[in-house]
Amino acid sequence: MKQIAFYWKWWIGKSTTVSNLSAILGKKWNKVLQIWCDPKHDSTRALLSWKTLDPVLDIAKKIGSSFGLDDIMKVWYSWVNCIEAWWPEPWVWCAWRWITLVMDIIKKLWIFKKWYNYVFYDVLWDVVCWGFAVPIRQYYANEVYIVVSWEFMSLYAWNNIAKAIENFWQRWPVRLAWVIWNERKVKNEKKIIENFAKKLWTEMIAFIPRDNLIQEAEANKKTIIEYAPDSELAWIYEKLSINIENNNKFIIPKPMSENELENFYFSNLN
């Protein structure tokens, strides 16, 4: 079983990427569990025809201690299981308290004893907060993929994730895999991403072009794999799924200092 955490900041296309990977792998008869660990509450919507899946803690409050897997998990195409972990009240729950509690609940339901080929954790990038690091510091995910773009804050987040992996790898065998680049169509973005990947001792596993087809699919409440299965974009996600399936290249990254990061970014803009 491959347990993979996908990290990045909001509105970068992380959840779109994860959902399409789940859809492709599920259609190839892989058993996939997608767990959403991000406050946007939208990770699994494309897989569920844009229906909202109640978060685990809300279900626990409504039903009490008698709830089971069927209450917290919805199924897409019979092979992809979806769990939405979080929808907290602002400024009431901290990420560490919430994610730790949710993962304990899921674990007690023996969900990880079920047969899965893949478990995907869709996680916000802010690993400065202990909570969002739970999937990699509490013995769940051992592979990390990062969905990136060219902006400085995107690189800053990428560098933070590298720092977290560097800190955790001796206690838990978590490793950085390759990065997934979401295009923004700006000058020198390819150079920035490739050079930054080399600095951290990794490389790109996929390039996702900027394409209005993604918005069209969302408007029709579908993944790309359902909406446009013969499109070039669907083929790109298919190739990405194969690369992840066969990937055996994992590294301990070498993050930069903040001064090194700033110097790198501005020297690569032109």
Catalytic residue set: 9, 14, 40, 126
| Sign of CA pseudo-dihedral 205, 152, 43, 173 | positive
**Site of tokens 């804050």:** 153
> CA-CA distances (angstroms) from residue 218 to 15, 182, 208?
12, 17, 16
Strands laid side by side in the 118-124 sheet: 74-76, 80-84, 32-37, 118-124, 2-8, 143-148, 175-182, 204-208
Q: Which residues are within 8 A (CB) of 76 and not within 5 positions of it... i.e. 6 or more apart?
A: 22, 23, 26, 44, 47, 48, 82
| Sign of CA pseudo-dihedral 244, 245, 246, 249 | positive
29: DSSP letter = T
**Site of tokens 């001796």:** 170
What are the tokens at 79?
Answer: 């092979």
For residue 175, the surrounding DSSP H or E stretch is strand 175-182
